[in-house]
Amino acid sequence: MKQDLRVKKTKKAIRHALLRLVDKKTFARISVSDICDEAEINRGTFYLHYTDKFDLLEKIQQELLDHLWMIVTTRMTEKINVLTEKPDTLKIFATELFHYLDQEADLFYMLLVNTVDPSFHNRLKGLIQKNMERLSHPAEEPVSFHVDYVMAYVTSAIVGMLQHWLANGRKIPPEEMALLVVKINLNGPMKMMSGE
């Protein structure tokens, strides 16, 4: 499953070119030609690897989401109610997640902060939700009336905080961010606004 060195090199060049371009103009205004000029590769080479610029973006996204899901499923093994009883475990896990986000911050910034593709937000929310469902007990009977709305609320809120974190230069360290996310979800936002 190893890749030819040349392939690795051009794919890397293409990604970095895209990252640079996305700072200058909207993804919608970026052409395949732009990307190839910036990456200093032949345009034909681009089409050897991707069908178009959307395909390129799609593959970047899928890779990030796959990695996130891998972290989540291999490291977050206990059920959700056990986790809320053991906030330390939860915090350790959340920290690990934020470290990955920090590591791939350039790409996440492009996808979540720059005006690139709205669907990534939704896919990320989907991942969070899938994970919450995976961790909740199946026999979690009565539940509130509009669970789906609460889900939409929580997942969007988390992605929103992530976006804010990335947009503001990730000044808060991963550990603190993780704690903040956990706390605000447990207490609710209003309680956070007034007192500590």
Partner DNA sequence: GATTATAATCAACACAGTGTTCATTAAGCA
Partner DNA sequence: TGCTTAATGAACACTGTGTTGATTATAATC
Asked if 16 is part of the footprint of DNA (rule: CB under 7 A), the reply reads no
CA distance 128 to 97: 12
Asked if 43 is part of the footprint of DNA (rule: CB under 7 A), the reply reads yes
The span of 43-51, 108-116, 158-166, 168-176 binding DNA (CB under 7 A) equals: 43-51
Contact pick of 2, 171, 195, 196 for DNA (by CB under 7 A): 2
Burial of 123 (0-12, 13-18, 19+ CB in 10 A): middle
Asked if 34 is part of the footprint of DNA (rule: CB under 7 A), the reply reads yes
Give the nearer residue to its own copies in terms of CB position, either 28 or 139. Answer: 28
Q: In whole angstroms, how large is the CA radius of gyration of the chain?
A: 19
CA distance 184 to 76: 20
For residue 61, the partner it binds in DNA, its own copies, none, with Cβ less than 5 to 8 A by kind, is: none
Count of other CB atoms within 10 angstroms of residue 44? 8
Interacting residues with DNA (CB under 7 A): 2, 4-7, 9-10, 31-34, 40-45, 47-49, 51-53
